[in-house]
Amino acid sequence: KCADARVSDKSVYHTFARTLPPSSKISKSIVGLLLNFGWTKVTLVVSKGSMWIPIREALTELTAKMMINITRVVELDDYIPSQIKVLEEVVDSTYKRTRIYLFIGEHVALVDFVHTMYNRGLLNDGQYIVISVDDLIYDPKDPLERYLQRHYYEPHLQPHLRNLNQSIEAFRSVLKITPSYPTNPDYG
């Protein structure tokens, strides 16, 4: 997977095969979504992992150009579920001044972040939204659990997972920007 801007110049790298769109395309999708709804103030929650840095840089540059204010940046170390307190602290320290969260990081952290907000009652009345970038290719044939829960990460915990209805309710406040396969039968 490559989202590195340095190899995005097609005049230099003619045959470079991509499995993910470049950071510039991802950031344009996010900014386009924000502008479409008139959202101009956001909090950026971003993983420090190397694959997320180019997206963060492209997003920071483009939001500044488009007059979208990133009011706060919260960086996350590599996340594992036993560190749920970190996400709880992020939510507790930002929710009073934030309505739109841009979440750029691992899926397992997103699931726990959204459920942290849900468990605090923040997602009950539509006042908050989480916009997330996901490198997982969306396939409508996949079960919902693949996108709303993290059982693939911890299969030994499956009997103790949140129920699917709770996950569906929590994820009603999430917009995920993700690559997908063509679904139009007339597509090329």
The model's pLDDT over 138-148, given as tens digits with 9 standing for 90+, comes to 677 776 666 66
d(CA 127, CA 100): 9
Contact 88, 114 (CB under 8 A): no
Q: Dihedral sign, CA of 154, 111, 178, 4?
A: negative
Q: Which residues pair with 100 in a beta bridge?
A: 129
Predicted pLDDT of residue 24: 73
The reported pTM is 0.79
Predicted pLDDT of residue 160: 44
Predicted pLDDT of residue 34: 97
- Environment class of residue 184 by beta-carbon count within 10 Å: exposed (0-12), middle (13-18) or buried (19+)? exposed
Question: What is the CATH number assigned to the segment(s) 17-177?
Answer: 3.40.50.2300
Mark the ranges of the chain whose per-residue pLDDT is less than 50.
Answer: 1, 153-160
Predicted pLDDT of residue 6: 58
Predicted pLDDT of residue 68: 97
Predicted pLDDT of residue 1: 45
